[in-house]
């Protein structure tokens, strides 16, 4: 290679590398500026998300037969979650009195606007069961703890 050819080749490589580096630095700076703006972080919650929903729980039946589902329904007045399928966690714990078995079940959103959630349980053995249920969204939590009123007998086959 002649000196002139080598000089031209060096300029092309240097220019291409410099342009790539300049584009990279520009994109990083743009990303940094865009994410540092107030309110641009989707994970941050605004003040309206801190209000508490009113949650009521109802059950499908006082007693159930063998292989029937026992269903808890949670009704939420004025839900706040933007995406109730992703932003809300509903769970229930069922405990048998005789055997001491515990079952932790996840609930599910049954309404696109987030007003109805359900937890279903089908006991496999005759027993008296107690349950507790929890509704969680961000910093808000509603818990219905196990008490005498939250029992249902499972009579087995009838």
| Residue 133 and residue 144 in contact, taking contact as beta carbons nearer than 8 Å | yes
Task: Output the pLDDT for position 149.
Answer: 45
CATH topology of domain 49-154: Immunoglobulin-like (2.60.40)
Locus of tokens 């050819």: 5
Task: Output the pLDDT for position 126.
Answer: 81
DSSP H or E stretch at residue 121: strand 116-121
> Could you tell me the pLDDT band of residue 100, with boundaries at 50, 70 and 90?
confident
Domain extents in the chain = 1-37, 49-154
Task: Output the pLDDT for position 72.
Answer: 93
Which residue has better confidence, 63 or 82? 82
Cα-based distances in Å from 145 to 22, 94, 133, 134, 142: 59, 11, 7, 8, 10
Task: Output the pLDDT for position 87.
Answer: 94
Q: What percent of the chain has pLDDT over 70?
A: 63
Per residue in 35-62, pLDDT tens?
555 444 444 444 445 567 889 899 888 8
Question: Is residue 136 predicted with pLDDT exceeding 90?
Answer: yes
Task: Output the pLDDT for position 127.
Answer: 83
Question: Is residue 32 predicted with pLDDT exceeding 90?
Answer: no
Q: What is the pTM of this model?
A: 0.62
Task: Output the pLDDT for position 139.
Answer: 85
Alpha-carbon torsion angle 6, 8, 13, 14, nearest 10: 110
Residues in the chain: 158
Question: Is residue 8 predicted with pLDDT exceeding 80?
Answer: no
Angle at 135 between CA 151 and CA 83, to 5 degrees: 145
């Amino acid at each position: 290679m002649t000196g002139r050819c080598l000089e031209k080749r060096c300029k092309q490589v240097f220019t291409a590398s410099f342009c790539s580096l300049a584009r990279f630095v520009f994109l990083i700076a743009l990303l940094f500026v865009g994410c540092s703006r107030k309110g641009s972080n989707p994970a941050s919650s605004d003040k309206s998300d801190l209000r508490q929903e009113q949650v009521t729980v109802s059950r499908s039946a006082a007693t159930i037969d063998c292989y029937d589902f026992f269903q808890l329904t949670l009704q939420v007045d004025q839900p706040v979650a933007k995406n109730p399928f992703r932003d809300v966690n509903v769970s229930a714990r069922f405990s048998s009195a005789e055997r001491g078995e515990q079952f932790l079940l996840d609930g599910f959103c049954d309404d696109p606007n987030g007003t109805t959630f359900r937890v279903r349980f089908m006991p496999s053995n005759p027993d008296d069961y107690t349950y507790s249920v929890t509704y969680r969204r961000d910093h808000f939590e509603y818990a219905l703890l196990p008490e005498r009123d939250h029992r249902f007998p499972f009579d087995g086959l009838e």
